[in-house]
Amino acid sequence: MILKYLRPKQWALVFLCGLFIVFQVYLDLRIPEYMNAMTDAILNDRIGDVMGEYGMKMALCALLSLGASLVSGFIAAYVTSQLCRELRIRQFEKVQTFSSEDVGDISIASLITRSTSDVYQIQVYVARGLQIFIKAPILATWAIIKIAGRNWQWSAATVVTVVVISLVVMFIIRRSRVYFENIQWLTDGINGATGESIEGVRTIRAYNAEEYQFAKLEKANEKLIHNNLESLKYTSAMYPFTSAMQNLLTLSIYWIGAGLISSAPDHAEQLILFSDMIVFTSYALQVISAFLMVSGMMRILPRASVASKRIQEVIERTPSIEDGNVTESSLDHEGEISMRDVSFTYPGSKRPAVSDISLDVKKGQTLAIIGSTGSGKTTLLRLMCRLYDTDEGVISVSGHDVRDYRQRDLHNMFGYVPQSAVIFSGSVRYNVNYGVDSDERTDDEIWNALRIAQSEGFVRNMDGGLDARISQHGRNISGGQKQRIGIARAICKDPLIYIFDDSFSALDFRTDMALRSALKEWTKDATVVIVAQRVGTIMDADCIIVMDEGRIVGKGTHDELMKSCALYNSIATAQFSEVH
């Protein structure tokens, strides 16, 4: 039940909303009583005495009912907005604990839909439901009490109408539910296809693949349209049907009343029956109105129910990687990395990404990893940071198994720079200072990080310097500039362990050499792990491991590997011959 995420203060507001709704219903049902009293006054020739009095009372009831309705509506809207805010926050917080596997299981497009479209469906349903599901039962019960004991024929017509409406509404809900479920999933597909088209617009244009991409999006759109039409085929019939039933009930009451009045023994009895018929019609329509309100909610229930289920799947999902209890590194082993017989296979894959990996890196050392594409280099880095858990073996960082750490404290030890640098929309200062778990760095510290990363020159030339705006994904800077800002971010964090995942690939040789020289001095007391394709980038590392098909096939210094590892020798020879 999605309402369990309401806070106690919000439940108090729901109770207050209920009080205003009860007051509104009371006022609405007082109006037919005044109508009945006016009819009695007509029968007793006292209409001149009470017309003004009852007219004023009816007008006052209508105005007070309007006021109560506005207040209850405002409270319901406020409570709903707070609930939706809580749902978005809880989803965001839970997603932050997800591993790459968890995100892949749900998909990024679906996570976006669940935080936007699905939450909106809940907002629409709860905003109306808070009023209707309180008002309708009270209104129906109160009206039924008022008409109880009156003519049984009128009551029978009312009961038949209510039963028919209920059965038809239940049928419509059952038939349309499956389409509403499909709509939510197909919306995920539309979001995914649209995002793919926007993200890959340059590639799409380069390959003249606009028609192919359009056809892909059109196919997903056609499925969504089909399901929307099928669902609307049922739900759109609900309102005209219920309106017709309401009119039929009114006609039935009048038709039955006409028969009763015509068979009455005298004129006075006819007037009494006529008065009862008018009052009964008012109360019967109130009963039907209550059921119509609930029917309207039932029309949007399937979509809200599916949205609620999808949101709770995110909020209540148990992350595949759970926190440990260790919050601090061992002082005796600070900055050290150890792997023992580590093996890992990606979910859904039949072939291990890495197998039987064992290595040790001491504080102050630089470990370099080289190998062909798909050899498991990046996978090793992800396992070090515990973005995935190993299938076999143990990885220790700073003296503790990575599974024993709280993820936040483990990640604080790393300064991770991926090959495709992640740049956020905002200023240069915001991007370099991003994620620093302390007071913000001073401008001097940020400039120092940029200087080491060989970024100072182009940042000073940007309009605004540190305050220069960078667009989303860094679209207004080059690939090499993005990589250098990513490196500056890691330097600014000043972690125990630096991880560079082929983070120098977009740099020219001169910038690469200057950056490595400055970085070597800055990281002399830290542990550094570098994945690279260029032998020149890693040849000064304390230890180089060569990977092939998920296994270590060579380990040692550059000179040692040139003699002992054929694969490394062939890579180095090929690259050096290209340079010369």
User: Is the Cβ–Cβ distance between 262 and 279 less than 8 Å?
Assistant: no
287 plus 426 within the same structural domain: no
User: Is the Cβ–Cβ distance between 533 and 525 less than 8 Å?
Assistant: no
pLDDT of residue 44: 65
The whole-angstrom separation of Cα 536 and Cα 172 is 69
292 plus 426 within the same structural domain: no
Instruction: Summarize the confidence of residues 64-73 as an average pLDDT.
Output: 92
pTM higher than 0.85: no
For residue 266, which phi and psi values (nearest 5 degrees)?
-145, 175
pLDDT at residue 332 greater than cutoff 80:
no
pLDDT of residue 82: 93
At residue 42 the predicted structure's pLDDT band, cuts being 50, 70 and 90, is: low
Q: Which of the listed residues 436, 462, 494 is the one where a domain comes to its end?
A: 494
> Count of domains in the chain?
2
pLDDT at residue 338 greater than cutoff 90:
yes
Q: CB neighbours (10 Å) of residue 340?
A: 15
Within-domain flag for 476: yes
Say which DSSP state 420 is in: S
421 plus 311 within the same structural domain: no
Within-domain flag for 567: no
Structure tokens at 128: 């109306």
pLDDT at residue 26 greater than cutoff 80:
yes
Q: CB neighbours (10 Å) of residue 52?
A: 9
Each residue's pLDDT tens digit, 383-401: 999 988 999 999 999 989 9
445 plus 300 within the same structural domain: no
pLDDT of residue 543: 93
Q: Between 173 and 121, name the one with better pLDDT.
A: 121
pLDDT of residue 436: 63
Instruction: Summarize the confidence of residues 479-494 as an average pLDDT.
Output: 90
Within-domain flag for 376: no
Q: Which of the listed residues 290, 315, 340 is the one where a domain comes to its end?
A: 315
Q: Which domain holds residue 242?
A: 2-315
Lowest mean pLDDT, pick from 261-270, 448-457, 491-500: 261-270
pLDDT at residue 19 greater than cutoff 70:
yes
User: Is the Cβ–Cβ distance between 527 and 362 less than 8 Å?
Assistant: yes
Each residue's pLDDT tens digit, 307-330: 898 899 999 998 888 888 887 777
Instruction: Summarize the confidence of residues 242-252 as an average pLDDT.
Output: 86
User: Is the Cβ–Cβ distance between 501 and 417 less than 8 Å?
Assistant: yes
- Give the mean pLDDT of the chain: 85
pLDDT of residue 46: 63
425 plus 296 within the same structural domain: no
The alpha carbon of 363 is separated from its chain's Cα centroid by a whole number of angstroms, namely 40
pLDDT of residue 578: 58
Q: Which of the listed residues 469, 494, 519 is the one where a domain comes to its end?
A: 494
Each residue's pLDDT tens digit, 201-234: 777 777 777 788 888 888 888 888 888 888 777 7
69 plus 183 within the same structural domain: yes
pLDDT at residue 437 greater than cutoff 60:
no
425 plus 303 within the same structural domain: no
At residue 343 the predicted structure's pLDDT band, cuts being 50, 70 and 90, is: very high
pLDDT at residue 110 greater than cutoff 90:
no
Which residues fall within 8 angstroms of residue 49, CB to CB, at 6 or more apart?
41
Within-domain flag for 342: no
Instruction: Summarize the confidence of residues 238-263 as an average pLDDT.
Output: 84
Say which DSSP state 45 is in: T
Each residue's pLDDT tens digit, 346-375: 988 889 999 999 999 999 899 999 988 888
Within-domain flag for 57: yes
Instruction: Summarize the confidence of residues 48-69 as an average pLDDT.
Output: 83
User: Is the Cβ–Cβ distance between 273 and 257 less than 8 Å?
Assistant: yes
184 plus 309 within the same structural domain: yes
Each residue's pLDDT tens digit, 127-156: 888 888 888 888 888 778 777 767 788 888
Each residue's pLDDT tens digit, 75-105: 999 999 999 999 999 999 999 888 888 888 8
Within-domain flag for 353: no
User: Is the Cβ–Cβ distance between 28 and 61 less than 8 Å?
Assistant: yes
pLDDT at residue 43 greater than cutoff 70:
no
Please, is 500 exposed, middle or buried when counting C-beta atoms within 10 Å of its C-beta (0-12, 13-18, 19+)? buried
The strands making up 337-344's β-sheet, listed across from edge to edge, are: 354-361, 337-344, 392-397, 400-401
User: Is the Cβ–Cβ distance between 565 and 554 less than 8 Å?
Assistant: yes
User: Is the Cβ–Cβ distance between 284 and 254 less than 8 Å?
Assistant: no
For residue 213, the domain's CATH number is 1.20.1560.10
14 plus 152 within the same structural domain: yes
The strands making up 497-501's β-sheet, listed across from edge to edge, are: 414-417, 497-501, 527-531, 366-371, 543-548, 551-556
pLDDT of residue 232: 79
Each residue's pLDDT tens digit, 168-183: 888 887 877 778 777 7
pLDDT of residue 448: 92
As a whole-number percent, the residues of the chain with pLDDT over 90 amount to 26
At residue 47 the predicted structure's pLDDT band, cuts being 50, 70 and 90, is: low
The whole-angstrom separation of Cα 297 and Cα 376 is 53
Within-domain flag for 502: no
Within-domain flag for 510: no
129 plus 242 within the same structural domain: yes
pLDDT of residue 102: 86
Provide the b/e sequence for 167-177 (b: ≥16 CB within 10 Å). Answer: ebbeebbeebb
CA distances 70 to 11, 67, 120, 327, Å, are: 19, 5, 22, 52
For residue 433, the domain's CATH number is 3.40.50.300
The whole-angstrom separation of Cα 441 and Cα 461 is 21
